[in-house]
Structure 1
Amino acid sequence: MASKTTLNTKNLAALGAERLADLLLDITKGNADAKRQLRLELASEAGSGDVAREIRKRLSSIARSRSFIDWQGRNAFAADLDMQRRAIVSQVGPVDPAGAFDLIWRFVALANGVYERCDDSTGKVQSVFHEACEDLIDLAEVAAPDPLVLADQLLEALADDDYGHYPTLISGLASVLGSEGLQHLKAGITTSGIDLSNNYALRMALEQIADVEGDVDAYIDQQSDLTRKAPQVAAEIARRLLEAGRVEEAWEAINAPDEKDRGWIPYDWEVTRISVMHAMGQTEAARDFMWTCFARSLNADHLRAWLSGLPDFEDVEAESRALEHALGFESFTTALHFLMTWPAIEQAAVLITNRAAEIDGNHYELLGPVSDALEDRHPLAATLLKRGLIDFALQNSRVKRYRHAARHLRECKNLAARVDDFAQFDTHEAYLDGLKQSHGKKTSFWGAVA
């Protein structure tokens, strides 16, 4: 049975309405966000009209503000934004869809100004606006605004959209805009007199309209000759042509990038090229290309696709070939990640002991979990990874990592008793002596070790 001092609904209700009201007033002193929440609750008791007025006042205040929101105020500001968003949807929406649609439109329109004066490095504020865009689509379906009016609203918003919120709305609002609205919006963009080559939002809007209408050529028309040679854009064009059954054109599009100047090749481009090859009946060529893609990137999805096309029993030998390739892959870190996630634990341990000099202790997000995973069956490999983390922290004076490095050193001591043969590597005692000679004056580290 819960104590009478436990914070739960029953115990708080027992205090009575007047006592709770006094407590709320006392608790919210100096807390503007909490006061705004209380005002919204009071307004909801008076009706959706009062709630809408409170929200409108707050949105106007945010729009007028010019003060910078730093990382310390970001979370509270995001919570305030989300409170307004939820109030629009849950309190105004059910009784006044048209009013809620107008409010959510005003809300999304705040994005440009907010981003310009906010440190949103975590994306917390942006996620609230993304949710608001989804809410806008849902409310539009209920409120059913005039398609031409909605198209004009979108056109006005798109012209000043620096962050790409509005173009992504077009596919969601397609059913509300209908053919008439989409054509009106497209005409408005093309006759706006704005240089589309310098306006990402308007170009993206035309791409969205083309996709909604299933017009592949209109989509392609939005890409310059130069961008069509970019692998990601080539993949987008080829995929649409393939879906339209225009296989030969898809093959031409996917091969538009200059092979000598492709640089980093996105996975989407590789997968789309494989799909086009299959559609052209080039099954063996597609399989060869899968291996080429795997061999240069160690992408596990390519390997799985390649192995799945092999007859029974041949896949074991083929997998061994792939793992052998991974052991000699140019990037130690990429190879380790692949072998651990495939998984091929035995080969991962071999990689570590064979190429210990290449361990990059800066990749703590990979080496830490991998070293822990190897402790039971491969204590030497686990030790070498932990030493890599320790060495990086000390050699680069990463003071914030010292407590983790100290923990790794203690773990190395525990593992040493289970290592049968250190082979060419230092024993734990020798490694410890080396650390003391090289980093003996780093007292903050040794203090954490003790």
Structure 2
Amino acid sequence: MAGKRTLNAGNLETLGAAALSELLMELSSGNAVVQRRLRLALAVAEGASEAAQEVRKRLAAIARSTTYVDSRKRKALVAELEAQRQAISGPIAKADPPLAFDLLVRFLQLADGVIDRCSDSTGTVIGVFRQAVAELGPIATAAEVESETLAEQVADLLADDGYGQFDQLIPALAETLGEQGLRLLGRSCLDRGARDGNAALLQIAECSGDVEAYLAQFNAGQLSWPNTAADVARHLLAAGRPEQALAVLDGAAKGANTWHSPDWDDARIAAMEALGRGAEAQQLRWHSFSKTLSIPHLREYLKRLEAFEDVEAEERAFQLAEGHALPLLALQFLVAWPALPRAARYVIEHRAEWDGEAYEICSPAAERLSADQPLAATVLLRAMVVFALSIGRAKRYRYAAEHLRTCEQLSARIDEWQGVESHESFTGRLREAFATKWSFWQLLER
């Protein structure tokens, strides 16, 4: 149970309105962001029209601003944008949907200009506008916006989609636009030359369920790319046209053989199954697994085998994985399957080959193996330690020290080292080779 001094809404309410008001005035003094939030809250309390007036003022100020927002100031900008978005989609939309719709469109019109002048490496700024896109559909429906008006406004926004903030605008408004609105939007996009007109027309065709219009957006060159062919084939399969889907995939077969595409494989497997060609689908599942060691493909392959055949096939899969050209991929497969005793044996047999830079594979594998396979886990942990020290990556020293301490703990459980260097010998050699890495040794001894 939270204490009486824990900062939460319930405890703060006990202070009373007067005390909270004084605190807010004190905290907001000299803080323009907080002051604007408080003014907006007061306006919302007065009603939708007063809140809308306050929002318009802030949107106009944001539109006029030319100040560059770096990463340090980004949080304040996001808070400001969120406050306006929430006021529009919350109390204003509840009281007056048409007013909220106009304001939200105005808010979205700011997107390009705002993103132009800020550092958005985290994607939080564009995320605010994408959330507003998702909210526009329900508000437009509640506001009963005419399809022609809505189509024009959507086309205007798409013409200024410089950062992909409106990627989901058409799907978000498809139901509200309806068949007539989508048709008007398509015509408007063509007339206005929207920045990514082809993508807009593609989405319109998808939302309309117009397969022919969808196919018309692709030329032969585009369909020769395996991933593009896979997307189109999935669309055709959903429309109940598996023969056409398979023909599209066949047109990209050369590219799929040159640049392996799991998406192309999956779409072709689905097409084969839809056409009742299960044996060919099975062959492709195994072929795809042999290249990528894809667990979903292998599980689907085994699931379709007769009783007891799956045991032999699983053994063949293990042998194929152990002979794969990419040891890291094989390790990842054996650990994730899981086949931990085989993974441990594989790690020890290939102990000189592990790349400690691949910590996203080695670290979880070592963790999984540490319970019952301490020697294999030690081999992987050592690889990451040596890598961190070899390249002098100080940021990795904390993890490397933790890994080496884990190796020491694991060594107490290793009875047979199987030709692998003992912990004492390895640590002594490490100290000799990297004696100058003082910060690492200090971390280890701490």
TM interval, shorter chain, is over 0.9
2:293 to 273, 292, 298: 298
CA RMSD of aligned residues (A): 2.0
Paired residues of 1:232 and 1:266 also in contact (CA < 8 A): yes
Deviation at 1:265, TM superposition (A): 3.3
Indicate the larger mover: 413-422 or 382-391.
413-422
Q: Aligned residue for 1:398?
A: 393
2:275 to 280, 297, 321: 280
Find the aligned partners of 2:295 and 2:209 in 1 and give their Cα distance. Answer: 33
Q: Which amino acid aligns with 2:189?
A: I
Equivalent residue runs for 1:168-179 within 5 Å: 168-179=168-179
**1:285-311 CA distance string (max 9 Å, x none):** 110010001110111111111111101
1:437 to 429, 432, 435: 432
Find the aligned partners of 2:133 and 2:10 in 1 and give their Cα distance. Answer: 38
**Count of aligned pairs between the two proteins:** 445
Find the aligned partners of 1:74 and 1:256 in 2 and give their Cα distance. Answer: 47
Find the aligned partners of 1:132 and 1:374 in 2 and give their Cα distance. Answer: 46
Find the aligned partners of 1:151 and 1:355 in 2 and give their Cα distance. Answer: 61
Please say if 1:447 is aligned against 2:413: no
Q: Aligned residue for 2:183?
A: 183
Find the aligned partners of 1:99 and 1:180 in 2 and give their Cα distance. Answer: 24
Q: Aligned residue for 2:46?
A: 46
Find the aligned partners of 1:231 and 1:4 in 2 and give their Cα distance. Answer: 62
2:332 to 315, 332, 337: 337
Please say if 1:16 is aligned against 2:11: no
Structure 1: stretches of 5+ with no match in the other structure: none
Q: Aligned residue for 1:356?
A: 351
Q: Which amino acid aligns with 2:372?
A: R
Find the aligned partners of 1:415 and 1:208 in 2 and give their Cα distance. Answer: 56
Find the aligned partners of 1:5 and 1:275 in 2 and give their Cα distance. Answer: 59
Equivalent residue runs for 1:203-214 within 5 Å: 203-214=198-209
Equivalent residue runs for 1:254-265 within 5 Å: 254-259=249-254, 263-265=258-260
Paired residues of 1:44 and 1:50 also in contact (CA < 8 A): yes
Deviation at 1:258, TM superposition (A): 4.7
Task: Find the residue that maps to 1:226 and give its secondary structure.
Answer: helix
Equivalent residue runs for 1:94-109 within 5 Å: 94-109=94-109
Deviation at 1:6, TM superposition (A): 4.4
Find the aligned partners of 2:127 and 2:79 in 1 and give their Cα distance. Answer: 11
Find the aligned partners of 1:36 and 1:3 in 2 and give their Cα distance. Answer: 32
Find the aligned partners of 2:164 and 2:333 in 1 and give their Cα distance. Answer: 35
Deviation at 1:209, TM superposition (A): 1.3
Paired residues of 1:229 and 1:257 also in contact (CA < 8 A): yes
Equivalent residue runs for 1:120-159 within 5 Å: 120-159=120-159
Structure 2: stretches of 5+ with no match in the other structure: none
2:423 to 398, 409, 428: 428
Residues 117 and 368 (structure 1 numbering): CA distance in 2 closer, same or farther, change over 3 Å? same
Equivalent residue runs for 1:305-316 within 5 Å: 305-316=300-311
Find the aligned partners of 2:208 and 2:9 in 1 and give their Cα distance. Answer: 53
Q: Aligned residue for 1:70?
A: 70
Find the aligned partners of 1:12 and 1:260 in 2 and give their Cα distance. Answer: 64
**1:121-157 CA distance string (max 9 Å, x none):** 2222222222111111111111121111111111222
Find the aligned partners of 1:449 and 1:380 in 2 and give their Cα distance. Answer: 21
Residues 78 and 347 (structure 1 numbering): CA distance in 2 closer, same or farther, change over 3 Å? farther
Find the aligned partners of 1:244 and 1:98 in 2 and give their Cα distance. Answer: 36
Paired residues of 1:168 and 1:205 also in contact (CA < 8 A): no
Residues 13 and 291 (structure 1 numbering): CA distance in 2 closer, same or farther, change over 3 Å? closer
**1:171-192 CA distance string (max 9 Å, x none):** 3322222222222222222333
Residues 440 and 154 (structure 1 numbering): CA distance in 2 closer, same or farther, change over 3 Å? same
Paired residues of 2:226 and 2:255 also in contact (CA < 8 A): no
Paired residues of 1:150 and 1:181 also in contact (CA < 8 A): yes
Residues 19 and 167 (structure 1 numbering): CA distance in 2 closer, same or farther, change over 3 Å? closer
2:229 to 234, 242, 247: 234
Find the aligned partners of 2:134 and 2:31 in 1 and give their Cα distance. Answer: 30
Deviation at 1:225, TM superposition (A): 2.2
Paired residues of 2:328 and 2:354 also in contact (CA < 8 A): yes
Residues 446 and 29 (structure 1 numbering): CA distance in 2 closer, same or farther, change over 3 Å? same
Find the aligned partners of 2:387 and 2:4 in 1 and give their Cα distance. Answer: 54
Q: Which amino acid aligns with 2:318?
A: L
Indicate the larger mover: 180-189 or 403-412.
180-189
Paired residues of 1:247 and 1:276 also in contact (CA < 8 A): yes
Q: TM-score, normalised by structure 1?
A: 0.93
**1:31-78 CA distance string (max 9 Å, x none):** 232222211111112111111112222222222222222222223322
Q: Which amino acid aligns with 1:383?
A: T
Seq. identity, %: 42
Indicate the larger mover: 113-122 or 134-143.
113-122
Deviation at 1:260, TM superposition (A): 5.3
